[in-house]
Structure 1
Amino acid sequence: MISQQNGTTMSLPTTAIAVVAHGADDIRVEDVAVAAAAENEALVSIAYGGICGSDLHYWQHGAAGESILKAPMRLGHEASGVVTVAAADGSGPAAGTQVTVHPATPAPGNVRYPVDRPNLSPGCRYMGSAAQIPHNDGLFVEHVAIPTRMLRLVPDSLDLRVASLAEPASVAWHAVARAGDVAGKTVLVVGTGPIGALTVAVAKRNGASEIVAVDLEDYSLEIARALGATRTIDARNTDAIADVDADVTFECSGNHRGLASAIAGTTRGGRLVMVGLLPTGDQPVPISLAITRELELVGSFRFNDEIDSVVEALADGTLDVSAVITGEFAAADALDAFALARDASRSSKVLLRFGSP
């Protein structure tokens, strides 16, 4: 593949290493063709990609919730990299610019949702998702053409390893925004996997006076302490959780027991932000307690433009999330990386490294 950039003829890669899910227990590291960039797309060399819970579900179950694999799909929606070739139409960053990616594309057409909340768009397409057919290929690939509207500039001062966390940190940023002002308040975070741990970090940045973290795994609680938790509780100690009396609670475990603990640990008149995605269907939780305490139960789903603020906060050091990175593997060793990422007793966020170290 040949390209002209600033009067210079460049030889571009025609194939790239990618991590592709074929079905349950079947992910493969493959050589794939590098698609030519459209006029409004930049060619990006991916540096790092973070393994998310949905990637693990596609690997283990061939599905993430109701998004079922019907064909091979490239995984990954958390990534950072460098622009190799700028978009032909002049939009977006120049070659050599560090970037991260906002992986969402709201559905076009006349669909009803709040115009300032495109994360609620029905039919929204997300990179690395099997929600639609054809599936939406993800970012676990060495070289990929990406629409420039999805690219966010990363300052040269920001390590691309940390920049790869911008997407999950934006999920946490959005959740804390849904809680309102947490400054000076007691915050409870139930479930301290990567998203819960990042929620701890954002709550600390936003001035929470006490942050109580709850999890089953000692390792996860250690990460939460490193990111700003002032106290930790074993998730099996339901009496201690109920005694927290938090002003604001974030349920990040994604299971009904965690939600029950979150309700029990929230003070009367408090707000509970539900971040973890529970399984489809009815859930056995003590809603009567939420009613009699007049709790505000608020959903939080993905994010909108918070990623711009997240990149700025990561760059200026006011948001420190580096402790959540607990493993890094070359893309060729993706199977080992996925095996570590699914083991919460010894990992939090695991990164894949593409290209040269």
Structure 2
Amino acid sequence: MDRKLKAAVTVGPGHIEIQEFEMPTLGKGAAICKVLMAGVCGTDKHTYSGETVQYKGTPDEFTIPFPIIQGHELVMEIVAIDEEGARNLSYDGDELKVGDRVTICPDVVCGKCWYCKNMPSYPWCEKAQFHYGHNRSCNTDKQLYGGFSQYMYIEPGSRLYKVPDGLPNDLACFTEVMCVTYTLEKAREFSGFSLEGFNFGDAVVLQGTGPLGIAHIAMARMMGAGKIIATDISDYKLDIAKAFGADVVMNVETTTPEERIARIKAETNGRGADIVVECVGRPEVFPEGLKYLRKAGMYLEPGNFVDCGTANINVHEICANNLRIIGMNNHTHTKYKTVMEMMLRTKDQFPWDRLFSHCYPLEETEQAIRTSMTKESMKVLINPWATV
């Protein structure tokens, strides 16, 4: 294993440098992994743009600590691991070894707080140790805590998941994103109430058809959604939405809010959607999304993971229409294996290859993030071993 390695370091908003690091020494219960591929997440774009506060208003609130190695949607190969790490780092209880392909939950939780004990399916820990690619600077300890690097250091307490044979590296990178779509499973839990939550045949609207929106379309279709309607500013992305199962698509740049609301009501027998999912990641789309709903409809909010400001809403409309608003922070870390097996089973059912629009070498990480902000991109990948 080489003693020198490269990583893309975000030294501040809008500024990324390729820097050289020493390979860290393996500690007890830890692992060192070679990063095979990493995906650019919406949170990576926010950090690059200077929107740096996450978990605002919670005990786990933090501001991105620069300089930092970003990247948390990963597929890696284990290159060093001790006996304790081999026994304990796999969430699913697999005995890990050098050469295994793995992905990782970005969140290292305490396992002891009230949320870890009572809501263990989600990393809602109020005493989280740290979050890979988010809140541990490369100036600290083992340095390599993000995926935009040739290697990553895996601390004890992390959760690794073996990647099934036959699952391509790009789809393995998409596992964490697909786990966010369990937002729809949370909505299903409310279906025990009359006309509440997400029921078979329900009309679902997706605001935003980037990677997270497409993932929700696929999940909604598999869960038995009826009509699926999608909105976005990009015809390129809306075309992919149709390929994944959207029945109706609308470009918000060529339609008015009134036209979109009227169209959604027309497509739902005059009532409005049963479920709306916000996947844009901007607060300004929130008020309009509420107007898409029928009475007692449910609005799911997984998109505004980063603090990007406020939205102006009329609270009376929420009361008058009996609306249900469900904020869903983060993803379910219990379903990585399930999601990877699902993507492998449905490789001929959905055009998964269309999710991945660009792949850049590590030296072009900044360009990768900039490209991911354009209308003509979907999931942008970084291959740390590709040549320029």
Q: What TM-score range do you get, normalising by the shorter chain?
A: 0.7 to 0.9
Aligned-partner Cα distance in 2 for 1:43–1:25: 29
CA contact (8 A) 2:284 2:311 kept: no
Q: Tell me the CA shift for residue 264 of structure 1.
A: 0.7
1:199-226, Cα deviation, whole Å (9 max, x unpaired): 1121112121211001122222122222
Specify the alignment match of 1:150 in structure 2. Answer: 159
Question: Please, which moves more after superposition, 176-185 or 208-217?
Answer: 176-185
CA offsets, 1:125-175, max 9 Å, x none? 211113899699312211223247421111121001111111111112x21
Q: What's 2:96 paired with?
A: 93
Does 2:193 correspond to 1:176?
A: no
Q: Matches of 1:308 and 1:147 in 2, distance apart?
A: 21
Aligned mate of 2:257, from 231, 238, 247 = 238
Matches within 5 A, 1:237-316: 237-243=256-262, 244=264, 245-277=272-304, 279=307, 282-304=310-332, 305-316=334-345
The farther-off stretch of 110-119 and 69-78 is 110-119
Counterpart residue number, 1:56:
45
- 1:120 to 2:124 alignment: yes
Structure-1 separation of matches of 2:234 and 2:81:
44
- Corresponding position: 1:353 with 2:358: no
The aligned residue for residue 193 of structure 1 is: 210
State the Cα distance separating 1:77 from its structure 2 match: 0.7
Is the partner of 1:119 in helix, strand or coil?
Answer: coil
8 Å Cα contact 2:360-2:386 kept in structure 1: no
Q: Secondary structure of 1:120's match?
A: coil
User: Is the Cα contact below 8 Å between 1:126 and 1:136 reproduced in 2?
Assistant: no
Helix, strand or coil for the counterpart of 1:152? strand
User: Residues of 1 paired with 2:50 and 2:244: CA distance?
Assistant: 31
Distance 2:14 2:120 in 1: 39
Alpha-carbon offset, residue 63 of structure 1: 2.6
* 1:228 shift after superposition: 1.7
Residues in 2 aligned to 1:131 and 1:187: alpha-carbon distance in whole angstroms: 37
> Which deviates the most, 86-95 or 255-264?
86-95
Letter in 2 for 1:349: K
Equivalent AA in structure 2 for residue 160 of structure 1 = N
Deviates more, 1:248-257 or 1:281-290: 281-290
**Larger strand percent:** 1
Task: Give the drift of 1:316.
Answer: 1.8
CA deviation after TM superposition for structure 1 residue 62, in Å: 6.9
Aligned letter for 1:248? I
Identity of aligned residues (%): 20
Q: Which residue of 2 aligns with 1:141?
A: 149
> Secondary structure, in 3 states, of the residue corresponding to 1:121?
coil
Task: Deviation per CA, 1:31-61: give whole Å up to 9, x if none.
Answer: 2222122232222111110011221222232
Alpha-carbon deviation of 1:308? Answer: 2.5
Secondary structure of 2:6 counterpart: strand
C-alpha separation in 2, matches of 1:52 and 1:351: 9
Shift of residue 28 of structure 1? 1.2
Aligned partner of residue 298 in structure 2, secondary structure: strand
Contact 1:210/1:230, CA 8 A, preserved across alignment: yes
* Change over 3 Å in CA distance of 1:329–1:21 after alignment to 2: same
Q: List per-residue Cα deviations over 1:279-317 (Å, max 9, x = no partner).
A: 466420233222212111111111121222211211222
Unpaired stretches in structure 1, ≥5 consecutive residues: 1-11
Deviation at 1:179, TM superposition (A): 1.8
Q: Is the 8 A contact 2:145 2:153 kept in 1?
A: no
Alignment RMSD: 2.5
Match of 1:7 in 2: none
Contact 1:330 1:354 in 2 (8 A): yes
- SS of the aligned residue for 1:73 comes to coil
Does the aligned pair in 1 maintain the 2:209–2:279 contact within 8 Å? yes
Which residue type is aligned with residue 106 of structure 1? V
What is the alpha-carbon distance in structure 2 between the residues aligned to residue 64 and residue 225 of structure 1? 34
Q: How does 1:332-343 map to 2 (within 5 A)?
A: 332-343=363-374
The SS at the match of 1:155 is coil
CA distance in 1: counterparts of 2:38 and 2:296, whole angstroms: 40
Contact 2:172/2:340 (8 A) holds in 1: yes
- The answer to which of 105-114 and 258-267 deviates more is 105-114
Tell me how far 1:322 sits from its aligned partner: 3.2
Task: Report the CA distance between 1:18 and its aligned residue.
Answer: 1.0
Say which SS state the counterpart of residue 97 (structure 2) adopts: coil
Following TM superposition, by how much is the alpha carbon of 1:117 offset from its aligned partner in structure 2, in angstroms? 4.5
- The counterpart of 1:103, out of the listed 99, 106, 111, is 106
Distance change (3 Å), C-alpha of 1:64 and 1:137: farther
**For the Cα contact (< 8 Å) 1:186–1:211, is it kept in 2?**
yes
The worse-fitting range, judged by mean Cα deviation, of 224-233 and 125-134 is 125-134
> TM-score, normalized by length of structure 1?
0.87
**Aligned residues between the structures:** 344
State the partner residue of 2:135: 130
Question: Aligned partner of 1:294: which letter?
Answer: N
Q: What amino acid is the match of 1:267?
A: R
